[in-house]
Amino acid sequence: MSAYRPRRAWESPLYHAVAENLATFLADRQLRGRPVPFFVVRDFRAFLDCGVPAHGFLRVHCEACGRDRIVPFSCKGRGFCPSCCGRRMAETAARLIDETLPEAPVRQWVLTVPYALRFLLAYDREWIAAVHHVFLNTVFASLRRRTGLSSLGRNAKGGAVTFVQRFGDALNLNVHFHALALDGVYSETEDGALLFHPAGPPSDDEVGRVVARVARRVKGLLARRAEAGDFDAEPDSEDLLPALYG
């Protein structure tokens, strides 16, 4: 039987790195005139308190065996804390499997974009939505093609859940997409039942085609927005995230 073992948050290399360097890092950014946005500072500070009993804990008592346990508070951070993000990820995965995803094969598609576009995506939710739309539609079209159901057009339906990540492995600003897409499409039979058509693994060439199509369509979007003068406006000064860039 495995019992709950409190993690020793303050012993992790990440905790040490943040604890030892946060003040210097924040002061350095301030000096360079590129202060770190307040919500990032807040997340870092909360991380340093997360799972550390000195910053607050619950004492849990078990009536059955009479034992007490100390359960430190967690920071519930969304951006940075690996423990809280990990727990949220596990809960989300369980919910997706129990309640959302049908019993069908799922493939993960990841889309990253060139640097200049990352900057734009960090500024602008509408761009995130637009690029995401292009990405999924292109993946769905590839699935339809590979199941031979292109002729049904949009009536052959794909399904996906996407997580938009704001950071890359090195905690650099890197907006990118992780899409869990059903690896096939559904069609509807005459009596209204749903039929799943598996697509199977895409070849490297097919993945290349998807990338090329997404790139072409996003370039098209950029060109149209540029023509419409969309990029002349000053970025929203409320959105401080881009200050992290570079």
Binding site residues, Zn ion, CB under 5 A? 50, 62, 64-65, 74-75, 77, 81, 83-84
Which CB atom, from 1 or from 23, has the smaller least distance to Zn ion? 1
Q: In angstroms, give the least distance from the CB of 227 to Zn ion.
A: 45
CB 168 within 8 A of CB 115: no
Q: In angstroms, give the least distance from the CB of 53 to Zn ion.
A: 14
> Would the CA dihedral through 89, 93, 96, 98 be positive or negative?
negative
Q: In angstroms, give the least distance from the CB of 43 to Zn ion.
A: 9
Which CB atom, from 47 or from 109, has the smaller least distance to Zn ion? 47
Residue 232 burial (C-beta neighbours within 10 Å; 0-12, 13-18, 19+):
exposed
Which CB atom, from 43 or from 183, has the smaller least distance to Zn ion? 43
Query: What is the residue-wise DSSP string for 102-127?
Result: -SS-EEEEEE---HHHHHHHHH-HHH
Q: In angstroms, give the least distance from the CB of 21 to Zn ion.
A: 18
CB 9 within 8 A of CB 73: no
Which CB atom, from 48 or from 101, has the smaller least distance to Zn ion? 48
3-state SS, residue 184: strand
Q: In angstroms, give the least distance from the CB of 60 to Zn ion.
A: 9
Angle at 110 between CA 108 and CA 114, to 5 degrees: 175
